[in-house]
Structure 1
Amino acid sequence: MNLKSHPKASLVVRCMIYTVIYVDIQRILDVNYSVILDAFLNFSPQNGTG
């Protein structure tokens, strides 16, 4: 199937891919948010050690 001849099908596939990527990013951020936040605060020059 040639997606160029079906722009709506191509758009649907693109939206599905973006949705999967977005959901994966949200899941990763939910899992690692506290770790990332702790690392950011630890390396921040505003915590009194820099």
Structure 2
Amino acid sequence: MKYVDEFRDPALARRLADELAATVTRPWRVMEVCGGQTHSIIRNGI
């Protein structure tokens, strides 16, 4: 599959999560839309 590695990059996910943590000013609530996204979030430790 094309682009699979780009979408499964734990280092990139960690950098993005760190940037979000530094940017937000209050707690967020994330609504679950699909189990696939939930699985990806947990697998990448976000």
Verify same fold: TM over 0.5: no
Higher relative contact order (CA 8 A, sep 6+): 2
Query: With structure 1 as the length reference, what TM-score do the two structures score?
Result: 0.39
Query: With structure 2 as the length reference, what TM-score do the two structures score?
Result: 0.41
Richer in helix (by share): 1
